Structure 1
């Protein structure tokens, strides 16, 4: 009885606190600009925690440990090491230039930034439409959160799905970016606490030594390149694709636009430093994949590894039940911390970069942004109702396609100050998008990170050659 009272009391307190923070956010949201990127009055430390929580999400805390459980050290190196280096490199390389142009042109979204950089509405519309691929990640988060809810409440998954959807969408509808930032800070602090607790709690599984313990599963499981894996079997599939695709993923609308929240370039160092420190702590949660495997659990569904491990480790005593409740609430918060960011960026993007240019009406932007959220919610719920068996790979197919298309326009747009021929940049973006889908769906490349990385490399090579040819023909065009 005490456990049940604590469970519902904790959940109730969390819900009330989130809605209170959203109400504060709503009071500060007066127009589509405030809804999209705030009013430039947030601390860089708060923005850094918000970003780290957005990057970590349900994928890191709930879905990706399942890949480590199934594929071993190679999967950990892919997500935990190569991925972390990709994140750091992207923000060190792109933050300053992206913020500079965003400030100059008052850009609100990635497609808006693309429009101001390349001065072509058709290209920005293309980017706005392909950014809708982010909805595959919405589906992943909804499914992951619903699986967690069934672990602590006696409800069906589909019921949990609706509850998660209504809760997150309602508080984002209220406060936009401020609700996202304030709630993410709270959720980020909870995530840090739970990460440290779970990391320390499972260390006893390595009493015989890290590599020795992994070798008890199999020699391949303990190798950097797992010859028995169909996803992580070579240097490129583990390190190359992990670095490239994570770098590219930082160009997603709900991630890179965090740079536009900053007041000025002086805040960039504090922002990146906070993101790196908090993000590094979050990556420790991936160790649960090893712990679950070494504990001897036989888990049929890879997507449920975290849930089953936690139920196995924290059961029996009242203290365990209370701890489990707090952990599950925090893991739910990880999904919501990313979902609310995606929702804010998607709704702002649809209104600012699709509806407004096509209808020519800016006066109802804030109202439109909220209606778009409702539409996104209906679509997300429909796709999540009967999800594919490996939801992680499903989400990666869509989001990695967006990432593959984004690299050349944003990377070249930031690093090269002069004129960039639109034909070359746009063609490279299309190559990145289509080649990823072809390789993954028809070309036999099962790992979406590998197919997207091949597509990114080829699109970059195409862009470099195209720009070189253009410069030979008209040297003045690429000068600052």
Structure 2
């Protein structure tokens, strides 16, 4: 085994990546030709096949975390990570996705919202609340950083390239093509990526069949021989999977709330007909359930690298999966796997760029500046069109992503996944109760939604940075603990405010 990819593999992967880039550019050009406004960029102007939309959503939800970062946690901490990220998190996520997507689409269409921030503002008749969510969306940049780090790890190890030029190349390519295509191109690029990820998932999960020659017990005995903690349902020595609360309860709560992200809930708004919703969700849920299983491959990686080192050098958690692919597979399979891992990151990155740039442009810049900067077709004034401003925002997002990602590549807190979870979890903690109340309670008082949202954000960061509770005292902190406590407190506060004010103030059902 070698720390670096062999020259023949590097050449083959270069050719494959260039072909992949050409394919993506083809769909981007096709989508860009039909993108003439911010509405086209955010929601698309084309009729999308619901099955393609379902695959697009599955590709977007199963990110570089699922395929690149999380298997590293499993390699480090064993079966407890599999139960946490491949069983209990998906249960919460898939059930929540099926329920919330249907209801959110209904109200999203009614209020004609392009983003969650707009949905919040219209649903609760509060421009201030919409602006609050616009700024809260800035936290989702942490997710973009994680994906950029994961992609850089895969590409740099596969092509034997330095980290910084690789990072700049990844960001420049992805952010540039997303400036022009938006939703019209994203659905098709995501679908291509989803098919690649299905192939990759099957190859990766099947690659360890020989470890089961003596059955499941034989496989577990192999792990026990390396470290007995690897075969236990809870790993007391890990920072994330120590007991029943962390592995089961936290992941069920987080999985339920994680759906409340801008690039997930808004995907159902791309459907043109309600009758397509069931097929869209069925395809998405089946594909997602398969993708979540990829973390199991982290156990294969630990068997291949029992000491988590290679040639005397330790393998960082975020680099386990890319090193496993380069070391374990022959060139022709490694090419497919590398493309699949790249697709895993690109798919979510596209969705985040599309949704966050729309939010920053429409929900922060536009309301704060009126028509002094962004042109309004119905009013005089303005300097640039909303679509051009959106492209400038994407450029700025790319520069910020490079700066923070490089720091995470050099000095992560165990994993960039911890950094990403802290930001992303804070966002959907703040969004969960307002979305839940907004779609299930007819006349929810505005104060109940706002109070619950602020409570969630404050408690999440207080628990995390204040090291509150016994779980947060030492070493790397688990953002899932902070998020779970925040969501529970947010729900309690929201219900208290709802029952206290429901007969005093009413909001017209959106």
Report the TM-score range of the alignment, normalised by the length of the smaller protein: over 0.9
Cross-structure match for 2:343: 333
TM-score in terms of structure 1 length: 0.94
Q: Which string of whole-angstrom CA distances, capped at 9 and with x for unpartnered residues, describes residues 313-336 of structure 1?
A: 12xxxxx12321221122112111
The counterpart of 2:494, out of the listed 428, 451, 463, is 463
CA distance in structure 1 between the partners assigned to 2:405 and 2:205 by the alignment: 30
CA distance in structure 1 between the partners assigned to 2:429 and 2:353 by the alignment: 21
Alignment of 1:35-74 (within 5 A): 35-39=41-45, 41-74=47-80
Cross-structure match for 2:295: 286
CA distance in structure 1 between the partners assigned to 2:342 and 2:304 by the alignment: 24
CA distance in structure 2 between the partners assigned to 1:375 and 1:57 by the alignment: 22
Per-residue deviation, 1:2: 6.3
Cross-structure match for 2:237: 228
- State whether structure 2 residue 483 is matched by structure 1 residue 452: yes
- State whether structure 2 residue 452 is matched by structure 1 residue 428: yes
CA distance in structure 2 between the partners assigned to 1:256 and 1:410 by the alignment: 10
Alignment of 1:153-232 (within 5 A): 153-211=159-217, 212-213=220-221, 214-232=223-241
- State whether structure 2 residue 322 is matched by structure 1 residue 307: yes
Alignment of 1:111-122 (within 5 A): 111-122=117-128
Q: Which string of whole-angstrom CA distances, capped at 9 and with x for unpartnered residues, describes residues 367-400 of structure 1?
A: 1111110010111111112214220101111111
The answer to whether the 8 Å contact 1:40/1:262 transfers is no
CA distance in structure 1 between the partners assigned to 2:17 and 2:322 by the alignment: 18
Cross-structure match for 1:378: 399
CA distance in structure 2 between the partners assigned to 1:346 and 1:222 by the alignment: 40
CA distance in structure 1 between the partners assigned to 2:239 and 2:175 by the alignment: 37
- State whether structure 2 residue 81 is matched by structure 1 residue 106: no
Q: Which string of whole-angstrom CA distances, capped at 9 and with x for unpartnered residues, describes residues 184-228 of structure 1?
A: 111110111011011111122233333533333344322222223
Cross-structure match for 1:438: 462
Mean Cα deviation higher: 57-66 or 38-47? 38-47
CA distance in structure 1 between the partners assigned to 2:344 and 2:404 by the alignment: 21
- State whether structure 2 residue 290 is matched by structure 1 residue 266: no
- 1:216 alignment partner, SS class: helix
Instruction: Give the alignment's Cα RMSD to 1 decimal.
Output: 1.8
Per-residue deviation, 1:464: 1.1
CA distance in structure 2 between the partners assigned to 1:233 and 1:9 by the alignment: 44
Per-residue deviation, 1:24: 0.4
Cross-structure match for 2:387: 366
Per-residue deviation, 1:4: 5.2
CA distance in structure 2 between the partners assigned to 1:95 and 1:296 by the alignment: 41
Cα 1:328–1:423 shift into 2, 3 Å = same
CA distance in structure 2 between the partners assigned to 1:451 and 1:121 by the alignment: 28
Cross-structure match for 2:4: none
Q: Which string of whole-angstrom CA distances, capped at 9 and with x for unpartnered residues, describes residues 242-293 of structure 1?
A: 1111221111111111011111322221111011111112122111111011
- 2:182 alignment partner, SS class: helix
CA distance in structure 2 between the partners assigned to 1:119 and 1:98 by the alignment: 17
Cross-structure match for 1:317: none
Cα 1:40–1:96 shift into 2, 3 Å = farther
Per-residue deviation, 1:145: 0.6
Cross-structure match for 1:129: 135
Cα 1:462–1:226 shift into 2, 3 Å = same
Per-residue deviation, 1:479: 9.7
Alignment of 1:73-88 (within 5 A): 73-88=79-94
Alignment of 1:230-269 (within 5 A): 230-269=239-278
The counterpart of 2:417, out of the listed 376, 389, 392, is 392
Per-residue deviation, 1:146: 0.7
TM-score in terms of structure 2 length: 0.89
Unaligned runs of 5+ in 2: 1-6, 309-313, 378-384
Per-residue deviation, 1:6: 3.2
The answer to whether the 8 Å contact 1:432/1:455 transfers is yes
Q: Which string of whole-angstrom CA distances, capped at 9 and with x for unpartnered residues, describes residues 120-145 of structure 1?
A: 00000000101110101111111111
Structure with greater proportional helix content: 1
Per-residue deviation, 1:229: 2.3
CA distance in structure 2 between the partners assigned to 1:258 and 1:479 by the alignment: 25
CA distance in structure 2 between the partners assigned to 1:81 and 1:308 by the alignment: 25
- 1:269 alignment partner, SS class: helix
Mean Cα deviation higher: 342-351 or 439-448? 439-448
The answer to whether the 8 Å contact 2:158/2:322 transfers is no
Q: Which string of whole-angstrom CA distances, capped at 9 and with x for unpartnered residues, describes residues 412-461 of structure 1?
A: 1111122x222221111111111111111212522101110110011101
